Amino acid sequence: MGEHERSCETLAGSRRAAGEAGDLFCIVRFKAEREIDLNNREHDLRPGERAVAAPAPTDASLTFVGVIRTPWTDRAQCPRQGSPDGPVCVIEVFPPWVEALDGVDGRERLEVLYWLHESRRDLVAQSPRGGVVRGTFSIRSPVRPNPIGTAIVRLVRLEGAILHVRGLDCLDGTPLLDLKPDRSLFGAPAPDETSSGR
């Protein structure tokens, strides 16, 4: 671990102890600064894979609303997809977003959106597991221009700002983007009989 990363983790720990929001920001900012290094890994390319010169990510801004804790600390350890009977993982929501959890305990399943902070962002063609080469938008690889991960999880319990869930497939320390009820829990909306049908 580099000196910068150690100092960021120390700061994050002190801020968490003080109960301040945004304790992950320093670590994430450091890792965002490493994105150019993550992309510059030609030796990681499998046969047929192609990388492009990705533009600087300056056209959007995201707020990390929490952090995800899982048993996996290395990408090679992560399952390809989460399992409903997988290990119980923890999602910690930061202030001031804790109030947004009101009603979540009544949902059986949640959709979790998270930022795959260790993924490179410059591949347009990939060969998952050394298989057939396909375009990035046609596969569910974590390597994407905007590395947003999503998983449907089963809520085990909610304790304050902490959600215990099963079904995740990401690294420990992954930044949380959003939580939503699983869309499949909602039936199709009834047709509006007053509309023109257009």
Q: DSSP of 5-53, one letter per residue?
A: HHHHHHHHHHHHHTT-S-TTHHHHHHHHHTHHHHH--GGGPPTT-EE--
**pLDDT, mean of each 10-residue run, the chain (198 residues):** 40 43 44 52 77 77 94 88 90 96 95 94 86 90 92 96 96 97 76 53
Give 49's contacts (C-beta < 8 A, 6+ positions apart).
123, 125, 126, 127, 133
pLDDT the model gives residue 26? 41
pLDDT the model gives residue 37? 57
pLDDT the model gives residue 191? 60
Domains, the chain, ranges and CATH?
34-185 (2.40.30.70)
Alpha carbon 24 to chain centroid distance? 13
pLDDT the model gives residue 185? 76
pLDDT the model gives residue 3? 40
What's the predicted TM-score (pTM) here? 0.70
pLDDT the model gives residue 190? 57
pLDDT the model gives residue 193? 55
